[in-house]
A and B are shown apart, each in its own frame.
Chain A
Amino acid sequence: QKEVEQDPGPLSVPEGAIVSLNCTYSNSAFQYFMWYRQYSRKGPELLMYTYSSGNKEDGRFTAQVDKSSKYISLFIRDSQPSDSATYLCAMEGLGQGAQKLVFGQGTRLTINP
Protein backbone atom coordinates (compact mmCIF):
# COMPACT_ATOMS: atom_id res chain seq x y z
CA GLN A 1 0.00 0.00 0.00
CA LYS A 2 1.31 3.43 -0.92
CA GLU A 3 1.80 5.94 1.88
CA VAL A 4 -0.15 8.55 -0.08
CA GLU A 5 -3.00 7.77 -2.46
CA GLN A 6 -4.33 10.26 -4.97
CA ASP A 7 -6.85 9.65 -7.72
CA PRO A 8 -4.92 10.30 -10.95
CA GLY A 9 -8.03 11.34 -12.86
CA PRO A 10 -8.16 12.75 -15.43
CA LEU A 11 -10.77 15.18 -14.18
CA SER A 12 -12.55 17.47 -16.62
CA VAL A 13 -14.99 20.18 -15.49
CA PRO A 14 -16.61 23.29 -17.03
CA GLU A 15 -15.29 26.74 -16.30
CA GLY A 16 -16.74 28.19 -13.11
CA ALA A 17 -17.25 24.83 -11.42
CA ILE A 18 -16.01 24.02 -7.93
CA VAL A 19 -13.26 21.44 -8.05
CA SER A 20 -12.39 19.05 -5.25
CA LEU A 21 -9.06 17.22 -5.27
CA ASN A 22 -8.28 14.68 -2.58
CA CYS A 23 -5.55 12.55 -1.06
CA THR A 24 -5.56 9.90 1.62
CA TYR A 25 -2.54 8.77 3.57
CA SER A 26 -1.58 6.03 5.97
CA ASN A 27 1.28 7.49 8.00
CA SER A 28 -0.06 9.18 11.13
CA ALA A 29 3.30 10.92 11.62
CA PHE A 30 2.62 13.32 8.74
CA GLN A 31 2.26 16.85 10.08
CA TYR A 32 2.80 19.14 7.10
CA PHE A 33 0.63 18.99 4.01
CA MET A 34 1.19 20.70 0.72
CA TRP A 35 -0.34 21.05 -2.70
CA TYR A 36 1.76 21.54 -5.80
CA ARG A 37 0.56 22.57 -9.24
CA GLN A 38 2.38 21.38 -12.35
CA TYR A 39 1.72 22.82 -15.76
CA SER A 40 2.57 20.79 -18.83
CA ARG A 41 6.32 20.56 -19.49
CA LYS A 42 7.12 22.43 -16.28
CA GLY A 43 8.28 21.49 -12.80
CA PRO A 44 5.79 21.49 -9.92
CA GLU A 45 5.32 24.72 -7.98
CA LEU A 46 4.15 25.05 -4.40
CA LEU A 47 0.54 26.18 -4.30
CA MET A 48 -0.52 25.83 -0.67
CA TYR A 49 0.59 24.32 2.60
CA THR A 50 -1.09 23.56 5.90
CA TYR A 51 0.12 22.33 9.23
CA SER A 52 -1.87 19.68 11.09
CA SER A 53 -5.66 19.72 10.86
CA GLY A 54 -7.77 22.63 9.69
CA ASN A 55 -8.46 24.84 6.71
CA LYS A 56 -6.43 27.41 4.88
CA GLU A 57 -7.74 29.75 2.24
CA ASP A 58 -5.86 31.67 -0.44
CA GLY A 59 -8.04 33.42 -2.99
CA ARG A 60 -10.00 30.81 -4.91
CA PHE A 61 -8.10 27.95 -3.28
CA THR A 62 -8.87 26.24 0.03
CA ALA A 63 -6.75 23.48 1.54
CA GLN A 64 -8.35 21.25 4.13
CA VAL A 65 -6.74 18.65 6.39
CA ASP A 66 -8.57 16.06 8.47
CA LYS A 67 -5.94 14.16 10.40
CA SER A 68 -8.47 11.95 12.16
CA SER A 69 -9.51 10.57 8.77
CA LYS A 70 -6.05 10.88 7.20
CA TYR A 71 -7.60 12.84 4.37
CA ILE A 72 -6.66 16.12 2.72
CA SER A 73 -8.45 18.16 0.10
CA LEU A 74 -7.88 21.09 -2.20
CA PHE A 75 -10.92 23.06 -3.34
CA ILE A 76 -10.84 25.41 -6.30
CA ARG A 77 -13.74 27.85 -6.58
CA ASP A 78 -14.77 29.59 -9.79
CA SER A 79 -12.36 27.41 -11.74
CA GLN A 80 -10.60 28.96 -14.73
CA PRO A 81 -9.01 27.41 -17.84
CA SER A 82 -5.67 28.60 -16.43
CA ASP A 83 -6.19 26.17 -13.53
CA SER A 84 -5.76 23.28 -15.96
CA ALA A 85 -2.72 21.41 -14.66
CA THR A 86 -1.67 18.38 -12.66
CA TYR A 87 -2.12 18.80 -8.92
CA LEU A 88 0.07 16.85 -6.54
CA CYS A 89 -0.42 16.48 -2.83
CA ALA A 90 2.67 16.13 -0.67
CA MET A 91 3.26 15.56 3.00
CA GLU A 92 5.99 15.32 5.58
CA GLY A 93 6.49 14.11 9.11
CA LEU A 94 8.94 15.16 11.78
CA GLY A 95 12.15 13.51 12.81
CA GLN A 96 14.41 11.29 10.76
CA GLY A 97 14.11 11.81 7.04
CA ALA A 98 12.05 14.91 7.59
CA GLN A 99 13.76 16.70 4.73
CA LYS A 100 11.93 14.73 2.11
CA LEU A 101 8.33 14.95 1.05
CA VAL A 102 6.10 12.06 0.09
CA PHE A 103 4.01 12.79 -2.99
CA GLY A 104 0.73 11.53 -4.32
CA GLN A 105 0.51 10.42 -7.95
CA GLY A 106 -1.01 13.70 -9.08
CA THR A 107 -4.46 14.45 -10.49
CA ARG A 108 -4.67 15.81 -14.01
CA LEU A 109 -7.32 18.56 -14.14
CA THR A 110 -8.79 20.21 -17.24
CA ILE A 111 -11.11 23.22 -17.02
CA ASN A 112 -13.16 23.57 -20.19
CA PRO A 113 -14.12 27.10 -21.35
Chain B
Amino acid sequence: DVKVTQSSRYLVKRTGEKVFLECVQDMDHENMFWYRQDPGLGLRLIYFSYDVKMKEKGDIPEGYSVSREKKERFSLILESASTNQTSMYLCASRPGSGSIYGYTFGSGTRLTVV
Protein backbone atom coordinates (compact mmCIF):
# COMPACT_ATOMS: atom_id res chain seq x y z
CA ASP B 1 0.00 0.00 0.00
CA VAL B 2 1.09 3.56 -0.72
CA LYS B 3 1.94 5.36 2.42
CA VAL B 4 2.00 9.06 3.11
CA THR B 5 3.45 9.80 6.50
CA GLN B 6 3.15 13.09 8.30
CA SER B 7 5.71 13.53 11.02
CA SER B 8 3.41 14.82 13.75
CA ARG B 9 -0.24 14.15 14.59
CA TYR B 10 -0.56 17.06 16.99
CA LEU B 11 1.52 20.21 17.36
CA VAL B 12 1.19 23.23 19.62
CA LYS B 13 3.26 26.26 18.68
CA ARG B 14 3.49 29.85 19.82
CA THR B 15 2.62 32.88 17.74
CA GLY B 16 5.62 34.04 15.74
CA GLU B 17 7.41 30.69 15.74
CA LYS B 18 8.69 29.17 12.52
CA VAL B 19 6.95 25.83 12.07
CA PHE B 20 7.94 22.91 9.88
CA LEU B 21 5.46 20.21 8.84
CA GLU B 22 7.03 17.20 7.20
CA CYS B 23 5.50 14.74 4.76
CA VAL B 24 7.09 11.63 3.25
CA GLN B 25 5.65 9.25 0.65
CA ASP B 26 7.08 5.88 -0.26
CA MET B 27 5.73 5.19 -3.76
CA ASP B 28 7.81 7.46 -6.00
CA HIS B 29 4.89 9.80 -6.73
CA GLU B 30 5.67 12.90 -8.77
CA ASN B 31 2.97 15.11 -7.32
CA MET B 32 2.65 16.19 -3.70
CA PHE B 33 0.20 18.58 -2.08
CA TRP B 34 -0.44 20.46 1.12
CA TYR B 35 -4.01 21.27 2.17
CA ARG B 36 -5.56 22.73 5.24
CA GLN B 37 -8.97 21.59 6.40
CA ASP B 38 -11.26 23.80 8.43
CA PRO B 39 -14.90 23.31 9.47
CA GLY B 40 -17.24 24.88 6.98
CA LEU B 41 -14.43 25.62 4.52
CA GLY B 42 -13.47 22.13 3.45
CA LEU B 43 -10.06 21.38 1.95
CA ARG B 44 -8.08 24.34 0.69
CA LEU B 45 -4.92 23.92 -1.34
CA ILE B 46 -1.88 25.72 0.01
CA TYR B 47 0.92 24.58 -2.29
CA PHE B 48 1.71 21.69 -4.54
CA SER B 49 4.75 20.27 -6.26
CA TYR B 50 4.94 18.22 -9.45
CA ASP B 51 8.66 17.51 -9.32
CA VAL B 52 11.73 17.92 -7.15
CA LYS B 53 12.49 21.59 -6.47
CA MET B 54 9.30 22.59 -8.33
CA LYS B 55 6.42 24.22 -6.51
CA GLU B 56 3.23 26.05 -7.37
CA LYS B 57 0.95 28.17 -5.27
CA GLY B 58 -2.46 26.90 -4.46
CA ASP B 59 -5.46 28.91 -3.37
CA ILE B 60 -4.16 30.14 -0.01
CA PRO B 61 -0.33 30.36 -0.08
CA GLU B 62 0.01 33.51 2.02
CA GLY B 63 2.01 32.91 5.18
CA TYR B 64 3.35 29.58 3.96
CA SER B 65 6.29 28.30 1.97
CA VAL B 66 7.32 24.80 0.88
CA SER B 67 10.42 22.81 0.13
CA ARG B 68 10.92 19.73 -1.99
CA GLU B 69 14.58 18.78 -2.11
CA LYS B 70 13.91 15.06 -2.56
CA LYS B 71 11.12 13.36 -4.46
CA GLU B 72 9.71 11.59 -1.44
CA ARG B 73 9.64 14.56 0.94
CA PHE B 74 7.52 17.71 0.85
CA SER B 75 7.77 20.18 3.70
CA LEU B 76 5.37 22.94 4.62
CA ILE B 77 6.82 25.93 6.44
CA LEU B 78 4.90 28.50 8.42
CA GLU B 79 7.29 31.43 8.40
CA SER B 80 5.78 33.15 11.45
CA ALA B 81 2.91 31.21 12.90
CA SER B 82 -0.30 33.06 13.65
CA THR B 83 -3.46 31.99 15.46
CA ASN B 84 -5.43 31.96 12.18
CA GLN B 85 -3.16 29.15 11.01
CA THR B 86 -4.60 26.84 13.64
CA SER B 87 -5.98 24.04 11.50
CA MET B 88 -5.74 20.45 10.33
CA TYR B 89 -3.00 20.13 7.72
CA LEU B 90 -3.17 17.30 5.22
CA CYS B 91 -0.43 16.13 2.90
CA ALA B 92 -1.27 14.11 -0.22
CA SER B 93 0.54 12.55 -3.14
CA ARG B 94 -0.39 11.09 -6.54
CA PRO B 95 1.56 9.57 -9.44
CA GLY B 96 -0.09 11.56 -12.26
CA SER B 97 -3.31 13.05 -13.54
CA GLY B 98 -6.15 10.84 -14.65
CA SER B 99 -9.10 9.22 -13.07
CA ILE B 100 -7.46 6.21 -11.47
CA TYR B 101 -4.74 8.23 -9.84
CA GLY B 102 -6.53 9.82 -6.95
CA TYR B 103 -4.73 11.31 -4.02
CA THR B 104 -3.30 9.31 -1.18
CA PHE B 105 -3.54 11.35 1.98
CA GLY B 106 -1.57 11.27 5.19
CA SER B 107 -3.36 11.13 8.54
CA GLY B 108 -3.02 14.85 9.08
CA THR B 109 -1.31 17.18 11.53
CA ARG B 110 -3.54 19.12 13.86
CA LEU B 111 -1.70 22.37 14.54
CA THR B 112 -2.69 24.74 17.30
CA VAL B 113 -1.05 28.17 17.43
CA VAL B 114 -1.37 29.89 20.79
Contacts and interface: CB of A to CB of B under 8 A. Distances in A.
Contacts of A36: 102-103, 105
Interface stretch (B11-19, B42-50, B60-68, B69-77): B42-50
Nearest to B49: A99
Interface in A83-113: 88, 90, 92, 94, 98-101, 103-106
Interface residues of B, number: 26
Contacts, number: 62
B105 A105 contact: no
Contacts of A99: 31, 48, 50, 94, 96-97
A90 B58 CA distance: 16
Contacts of A103: 42-43
Interface of B: 4, 31, 33, 40-43, 45, 48, 50, 58, 90, 92, 94, 96-100, 102-108
Interface of A: 6, 8, 31-32, 34, 36, 41-46, 49-51, 88, 90, 92, 94, 98-101, 103-106
